[in-house]
Structure 1
Amino acid sequence: MLTRRALAGGTAASLLAAPVLARQEAVGEPVTYESGGTTIRAAVYRPAGAGRGAGIAFMHGSGGVGPAYLRLARQFAADGYVVIVPVYYDAAPDDGVRPESVMNAWRQAASDAVEWLIADGLPAERVGLMGYSLGSYVAVDSALGRSRAAAAIGVAGGWSVYVPRPPRRRIPVMILQAERDDHIPSAGTRRWVDHLRNADVPVRLEVIRGARHIMNSDQWDDVFTRSSQFFARNIGRPPG
């Protein structure tokens, strides 16, 4: 069973765990993949037509897989991407302490989600990693580690989520900060950005105006628009 955790200072309303995947079969394909000897459940969303020949792995926040993330996945699929949304808690439950062994399991699950997309037929240079809150750290830190992701986006994350490792890779990164984030201090987000810039990672910081940590649908639409533009420049360019 997935662990549901209250975000610091509040509860992530409407975030659901694995049962969401079964209810999304009409638009999301249930799949599994192996990571560290554990089976990871996921939902896959595909473009209706030929698409961009590119893919995105999206890492959920601390409350598990919820409707906002699946809506975002459908938006990316409509924009031509193959999107996989794994339940990375399957790799290790969240006990709130998050020792290095747990973080390693989650990072590996993110990297293996990228490998699933590559095995599905996408070139590594056309696969990106993205995540929200806790998942922002999992996505970006994985992408800058041993993952083969070609670009990464972190939404509503920061140094206070978990201390990032020194980057091993220098791929494009975008950090989207919630302007009025009431869980992740803005100083922590900027510290994360400075950490990446000091390591020569090409990173850009953009702000979702008016957004708190738990965002409404209009703010998630802003996340999609900014993310789509970023990915289009880095992994979603038309062939040729």
Structure 2
Amino acid sequence: MRRTRRQLLMAAAATPWLAGATRAQQPAFSVETLTFESRGRPIRAALYVPALPNGAAVVFLHGSGGIGPAYLTLAETFATEGFKVMVPAYYDAAADDGVRPEPVMDAWRAVGSDAVDWMIGSGIDRRRVGIMGYSLGSYVAVDGALGNSRAAAAIGVAGGWDVYVPRPPRRRIPVLVIQSQNDTHVSPESTRRWVDFLRQADVPVRLQVLRGAGHIYTPAQWMEVHRMASDFFQRTLL
């Protein structure tokens, strides 16, 4: 009996990424790799296409360690629910030197915005495309979505003022911030400061706390992150 198999995308620079799919029955989703352009640079991405689409899409932006198995499992879970999901390698736009000057951050935000535009260009209504990121990716996702992006909703996971200083928002789309209760890398205080900053700017932001979680999640905690994120996207995109 043949079943769907995928290669793990362990790092943003790793190649090849193409996952093969074989089946004994109709799978819940298919997965492929693609390349799109952002400011003249080719950006590699994994794309998960649901067999039974719900009409909405999610762009997921990885943390500082690049693309890893937990993010792909999250993408698969969203795809099983009917979301079209893209996981772009935004490091293709600019390498992470640890200093992260504004031009680098801006290049990463542009990747997120261009990934959203790619989803819209593929036939998804712009009101049904959300963006989500973890840790460093939470900044790229949310700060970008509140800038020039066309994302309709955004989620930041395990992010806060410790990682970045957010820009004044230009847009007021729904935002969910998921805070890790015992995070020692991004302090809970910095996450709440970020939420307060957005609220003072009239951004409709909701804060949820992942109880008992540190900065690095267990598989069970990632499932809880998915539950919170899915509930939010079901409300805001569908």
TM-score (norm 2): 0.90
| 2:152 is equivalent to residue 115 of structure 1 | no
Equivalence for 1:232:
234
| 2:159 is equivalent to residue 164 of structure 1 | no
- Uncovered stretches (5+) of structure 1, i.e. residues with no partner: 1-13
Equivalence for 2:219:
217
Aligned length: 222
How big is the alpha-carbon RMSD for the aligned residues of Structure 1 and Structure 2?
1.4
Equivalence for 1:57:
59
Report how far residue 160 of structure 1 moved. Answer: 1.2
Equivalence for 1:24:
19
Report how far residue 210 of structure 1 moved. Answer: 0.8
Provide, for residues 32-89 of structure 1, a one-character-per-residue CA deviation record: whole Å limited to 9, x for no partner. Answer: 110011000000001122x111100000000000000000000000011000000000
- The amino acid across from 1:94 in the alignment is D
Q: Distance in 2 between matches of 1:121 and 1:15?
A: 29
Q: Name the % identity.
A: 61
Q: Distance in 1 between matches of 2:10 and 2:156?
A: 18
Q: Distance in 1 between matches of 2:221 and 2:19?
A: 23
Report how far residue 18 of structure 1 moved. Answer: 3.9
Q: Distance in 2 between matches of 1:37 and 1:110?
A: 14
- Residues 144, 220 of structure 1: alpha-carbon distance in 2 compared, 3 angstrom cutoff: same
Report how far residue 24 of structure 1 moved. Answer: 3.2
Equivalence for 1:201:
203
| 2:185 is equivalent to residue 180 of structure 1 | no
Q: Is the 8 A contact 1:21 1:30 kept in 2?
A: no
Equivalence for 2:39:
36
Q: Could you say what secondary structure the match of 1:140 adopts? A: helix
Higher relative contact order (CA 8 A, sep 6+): 1
TM-score (norm 1): 0.90
Matches within 5 A, 1:81-120: 81-120=83-122
Q: Distance in 2 between matches of 1:219 and 1:192?
A: 22
Q: Distance in 2 between matches of 1:182 and 1:20?
A: 32
